[in-house]
Amino acid sequence: MDESSSLVMSYIALYGFKVLAAIAIFVIGKWLAGFASSFVLKMMTKAKVDETLGKFLSKALYMILLAFVVMSALSQLGVNTTSFLAMFGAAGLAIGLAFKDTFANIGAGVLLIFFRPFKLGDFVTIAGETGTVEEISLFTTNLGTLSNKFILIPNNNIVGGNITNYSKKATRRVDLVFGIGYDDDLKLAKKTLEAIGADDERVLAEPAPFVGVGELGDSSVNFTVRFWVNTPDYWAVYFDTIEKVKLTFDEKGISIPYPQVDVHTKK
């Protein structure tokens, strides 16, 4: 064997070992990354962490570990990974600037899933829209409105504003105002409103219903009516009470006056 052949064989022996070692690092590292990702997902599932958040975190862990594995394999081959890291850093900065709104929505989605200000099926007002939560993803939250409209809201718009969850509490208070004429029997009207609340089985005894004169208006004496109900009964009690008050007031001769102005002329 001449000198050139010996040199070739030495290079093959040297770099062949490095290539095999790099391949072994990549294959074993990739398997370990997948195993760690699956293990974390199983642990979060057992801990009853939200499924969407669990999948996102396990996937993110897998990508981070895989990046380290690739860097280790390249380093074994003798590649200067410092330049790669600088390149990836610059690329990451450019991607971050280009997709900052997308990443903001992802971050907001993680916060919504983790802190759970609302869940699927809740009736909410978010980002100025009101409806039932139908889906929560990492990027958007979908609402179905009472008129059966579909509304898709970016998560970042939700986190940056107020969130009203009407379904969070077991009970809600129905607030209504009813006006009667100044010439009507105030005590009779009050007893009538109290009886309407007492006769409705959906109105809770505790906290106790409240009926009281809330305002002496320009054209009417206004009663404030507050009934506590179970949250699913809110709208049914709201509309039924308004209808019942009108019918009962008509039966008892209690007026609900129109806005009016008394004009006095002086000769």
Tokens of 113: 């899933």
CA distance 151 to 89: 37
Instruction: Provide the residue ranges of all domains of the chain, joining segments of one domain with +.
Output: 3-98, 118-165, 171-252
Please, which residues have CB within 8 angstroms of residue 237's CB and are 6 or more apart in sequence? 174, 200, 202, 203, 227, 229
Residue 235 in contact with residue 166, Cβ under 8 Å?
Answer: no
102: left (phi over 0), alpha (psi -120 to 50) or beta: alpha
Q: Does domain 3-98 have CATH number 2.40.100.10?
A: no
Residue 111 in contact with residue 118, Cβ under 8 Å?
Answer: no
Cβ-in-10-Å burial (0-12, 13-18, 19+) of 163 comes to middle
What integer pLDDT is reported at residue 80 of this predicted model? 66
Amino acid at 244: K
Q: Does domain 118-165 have CATH number 2.30.30.60?
A: yes
- pLDDT tens for the chain, 267 residues long, are 455 555 555 656 556 677 777 788 888 888 888 888 888 888 877 766 666 667 767 877 888 888 888 888 777 776 666 666 666 666 565 555 555 566 677 777 778 877 788 888 899 999 889 999 998 877 888 999 988 999 999 888 888 888 999 999 999 999 999 999 999 999 999 999 999 999 999 999 999 999 999 999 888 999 999 999 999 999 999 999 999 999 999 999 999 988 766 677 777
Please, which residues have CB within 8 angstroms of residue 207's CB and are 6 or more apart in sequence? 173, 228
What's this model's pTM, rounded to 2 decimal places? 0.62
What integer pLDDT is reported at residue 81 of this predicted model? 63
Residue 117 in contact with residue 111, Cβ under 8 Å?
Answer: no
CATH class of 171-252: alpha beta
Tokens of 160: 């940056």
What integer pLDDT is reported at residue 8 of this predicted model? 53
Residue 92 in contact with residue 138, Cβ under 8 Å?
Answer: no
CA distance 135 to 203: 32
DSSP state of 229: E
What integer pLDDT is reported at residue 26 of this predicted model? 83
Residue 131 in contact with residue 124, Cβ under 8 Å?
Answer: yes
Question: Residue 226: beta bridge partners?
Answer: 175, 210
- What φ, ψ does residue 30 adopt, rounded to 5°? -65, -40
What integer pLDDT is reported at residue 242 of this predicted model? 96
